[in-house]
Structure 1
Amino acid sequence: MTKRLTFFLLHLPLALIAQPRTDAVLTKLLTTNHNPVFREVMQHPDRYRLQIIYTQIDRDRANKPTFTNYYFNVDSTVYFNPASTVKLPLALLSLEKLNGLKNPQLTRETAMQFDSAHSGQTKEWTDPTAQSGYPSIAHLIRKAMLVSENDPYSRMYEFVGQQAINQSLHAKGYVDTRITHRFVRLTPEQNRHTNPVRFIRPDGSTIYTQPAAYNPTPFDTRRTDTLGIGYYSGDTLIRKPFDFTGRNKLPLESLQQILKSVLFPQSGPARQRFNLTPDDYRFMKQYLSQFPGETNYPKYDSAQYYDSYVKYFFMDSLHHTLPTGVRVFNKVGWAYGFLTDASYVADFTHKVEYMLSATIYVNHDGILNDDKYEYDSIGTPFLYQLGQTIYQHELARKRKNAPDLSAFRIYYEKRQPDNRPTVKDVAN
């Protein structure tokens, strides 16, 4: 190799020369599943843009955890649309910002209202699904975590602000992330503007007012991210790849690390943690794992939003409940043919714990926005098979020390009967 070529390679950005990471241990484990759908995807990982991270957790005698990651086809330079998984960092940033205001009158349950000050913005002054009748940071998080509602994410985006969202995530080390838009149809310029927000007392008087904000900082779009052979814009088929370059981006490793920072805050560098109180951590654990049917506010329809509704690794067409003693602390997302789940699984019956994250793309015709994705025939069946493969392996895996999982035992709600109608058909 010439000195000139060596110099060139050494000074290339790592993102340009990185190779997908695949570990033999995980590859061998995945070959044990012979389900036809599972085998189809595993034989064509690039076609399905498949990425998997499996994390074994082992405890010492003092119950201190050690994490061992195994990868399959993981590459942060390969774009996938994070969809609703971005609701997790937005929830954490909302709590962090609230704590940073250092106003004892402001808690996550304090009523808040969203006004409008720019084209495309909408007001939200009340919320009939909340016990108080008003939005609050806590209620936005509940709705975003329990069934992955979209409007709460957009409201948290407006509270934190586009510039602060990205600056904070980058400062924490998540440099390859970008959060650029709400989950409503707005232009990039409209998404730079965020609404005025106010927090109010029960009598309606104002505690704190946040003015409208604007993000003047441009995003780095030097690396283009396009996908497919065409897409629909309204009823018109555009015969060229769909451009995701300016859309949200959250690599799988970053997503898993953000989840890990909530569940195991002492396991990573201090700079990657969010400024949460001990009760914030408890609150996040609760609503990352509580079932919609256990929750009183919102009162979700438990038949439509069943226990495993947003638990892909335990969700199939036959089983709408989790195994006895199992709780899954996770965040999923689905859009544009992508399905993603980042999970921590705790089995209190068998004293088993592990983390599992995966993303898959199911869009055989290559056309986006046509609502013809193989979510039900390939996507969710694959993720269920993946989840069960890892779960069964963990049940059989020998541990030197059984984990004490008491930190993850949560006091969950119990649905109280009343005459309120259930919440159905939310946008998620």
Structure 2
Amino acid sequence: MIFYIPSRLAGLLAAASVLLTVPAQAQVGSPLRRVLRTDTSAVVRKVLAHPDAYRLQILYTQIDRDAQNQPHFRTYKYRVHPRRYFYPASTVKLPAAVLALEKLRALRSQIPEFTPESPLRIDSAYEGQTRVVRDTSAATGRASIAQYVRKVLLVSDNDAFNRLYEFVGRSQLRYGLRRRGYHNTRLLHRLSVGDKGFSALHTNPFAFYADTALERPIYVQPAAAAKAEVMQELPRRGEKIGKAYMDGDKLINEPMDFSQKNFVSLADQQNILKSVLFPGAVPAKNRFALAPDDYQFLRRYLSMLPRESDHPRYDAAHYPDNYAKFLLAGGAPAPLLPNVRIFNKIGQAYGFLIDNAYIVDYEHNIEFMLSAVIYVNSDEVLNDDHYDYDAVGFPFLHDLGHAVYRRELARTRKHRPDLREFQLKYSQ
């Protein structure tokens, strides 16, 4: 039997579905569900009406401290699934930075003078590879692992990530994360250099030195090639995206295949960030083998504003305070909220916007983690530089961040958190 619904009633039912059906994909009774139900922002309502089209995923983690100020986490999810594909873009840079420091820490146990600041030289050994001798952004004029980490965390520099990728190696990027329990992650290629196939398997030779004249080598890493089987990954849902894509000047009328591109699930992203910020509060099996000064270094540059950095130095006119801060601050150049710091890593490519953040307000003594991904590509053509970042993506993440922030301001805590651990000095 077929029932016909009058058009006016159909419209009311459609509107109600935005409030009832879509937020119901968050856990029943969860604070995240209540945030999504009560937020009246037009762009939030628009996205929640079509979450599949926007490939929306959200993770919200409340943090409560006990009497000893130890953090305890409670996470709420909206449409999060470890095998639901999205292109992670620059969010891959945080795990690469962590693994680079971990590898260096292991080498340092054998070579005490080897530090993150050790000057380095990179050679080329395979088609498409490039060399590095100098880095004019560094105080010493020389490249180093520390300087590459600074650049990927401060302004999401692609070349700096590629050098970390080459130092750690593709196989170790994969197994190093899986060994720590981050199974829904694959780092398969460099960024913005057309890296794919066998070129992605090959990494450059490195040499590290005790002096800036590059005369006294302390460690040499030869060129390497990852095993080809590393390219084989389990399929994930939605790895073919869009209806067409641009290949140079040519339009290819078929979905773009992401099956051999990078991936880091939203849960893995937040858990990696949690492990960096709260290593003592995560299971030992998920912790990285880093020293306290490594953790402090990562925290500092995850939260530093570009204008606060001397080496590298960034022009505030081109890198405003909300540069690479999407949640709570995305959109036109603007200052951050007073007394707020955002420890985060963002991604932006192929119509995807991702922000993985720990947000702290020192004045009101609140802290929380929020991670989200949204796909904003209404014409479904990829690689054409026509995306809905400004119209939908940035406003949505801005408003989502504020909605959760307001929730946190109103939330009662049994113990007032002591956040001095995250009140860092940024002058160099």
AA in 2 matched with 1:22:
A
What is the aligned counterpart of 1:236 among 231, 250, 256?
A: 250
CA contact (8 A) 1:52 1:74 kept: yes
What percentage of residue pairs aligned between the two structures are identical? 47
State the Cα deviation string for residues 94-120 of structure 1 (Å, max 9, x = none).
000001112111111111111000111
**Partner SS state of residue 323, structure 1:** coil
Cα distance in 2 for partners of 1:72, 1:411 equals 35
State the Cα deviation string for residues 378-404 of structure 1 (Å, max 9, x = none).
000000000000011111111111100
What is the aligned counterpart of 1:328 among 318, 338, 342?
A: 342
- Aligned counterpart, 1:223: 235
- Aligned counterpart, 1:88: 94
**Partner SS state of residue 31, structure 1:** helix
- Aligned counterpart, 2:278: 264
1:124-139 paired onto structure 2 within 5 Å: 124-139=132-147
AA in 1 matched with 2:198:
E
**The 10-residue stretch of structure 1 (178-187 or 285-294) with the greater mean CA deviation from structure 2:** 178-187
CA RMSD of aligned residues (A): 1.3
**Partner SS state of residue 377, structure 2:** coil
CA contact (8 A) 2:70 2:281 kept: no
- Aligned counterpart, 1:172: 180
1:112-261 paired onto structure 2 within 5 Å: 112-183=120-191, 184-200=193-209, 201-205=211-215, 206-218=217-229, 219-223=231-235, 225-261=239-275
- Aligned counterpart, 2:83: 77
Cα distance in 2 for partners of 1:61, 1:244 equals 47
| Structure 1 position 174, deviation (Å) | 1.2
- Aligned counterpart, 1:52: 58
CA contact (8 A) 2:120 2:214 kept: no
CA contact (8 A) 1:115 1:197 kept: yes
Cα distance in 2 for partners of 1:176, 1:305 equals 32
State the Cα deviation string for residues 171-214 of structure 1 (Å, max 9, x = none).
11111211000011133101100000011122322111100011
CA contact (8 A) 1:180 1:191 kept: yes
- Aligned counterpart, 2:18: none
CA contact (8 A) 1:21 1:75 kept: no
Cα distance in 2 for partners of 1:89, 1:358 equals 17
State the Cα deviation string for residues 243-298 of structure 1 (Å, max 9, x = none).
00010010000000000000000122212111111011111110000000011011
CA contact (8 A) 2:320 2:333 kept: no
AA in 1 matched with 2:302:
L
CA contact (8 A) 1:50 1:361 kept: yes
AA in 2 matched with 1:187:
K
AA in 2 matched with 1:248:
N
- Aligned counterpart, 2:27: 23
- Aligned counterpart, 1:351: 365
Cα distance in 1 for partners of 2:366, 2:153 equals 23
TM-score, length-scaled by structure 1: 0.90
**Partner SS state of residue 355, structure 2:** strand
CA contact (8 A) 1:180 1:188 kept: no
**Partner SS state of residue 353, structure 1:** strand
| Structure 1 position 319, deviation (Å) | 5.9
| Structure 1 position 21, deviation (Å) | 6.3
CA contact (8 A) 1:308 1:314 kept: no
1:356-395 paired onto structure 2 within 5 Å: 356-395=370-409
State the Cα deviation string for residues 62-98 of structure 1 (Å, max 9, x = none).
1111100011111122110000000000000000000
Cα distance in 1 for partners of 2:149, 2:266 equals 21
- Aligned counterpart, 2:42: 36
- Aligned counterpart, 1:68: 74
Q: Kindly tell me: are residues 70 and 208 of structure 1, through their superposed partners in 2, closer, same or farther at Cα, counting changes over 3 Å? A: same
**Partner SS state of residue 314, structure 1:** coil
CA contact (8 A) 2:353 2:393 kept: yes
AA in 2 matched with 1:120:
G
AA in 2 matched with 1:198:
A
AA in 1 matched with 2:160:
P
AA in 1 matched with 2:195:
L
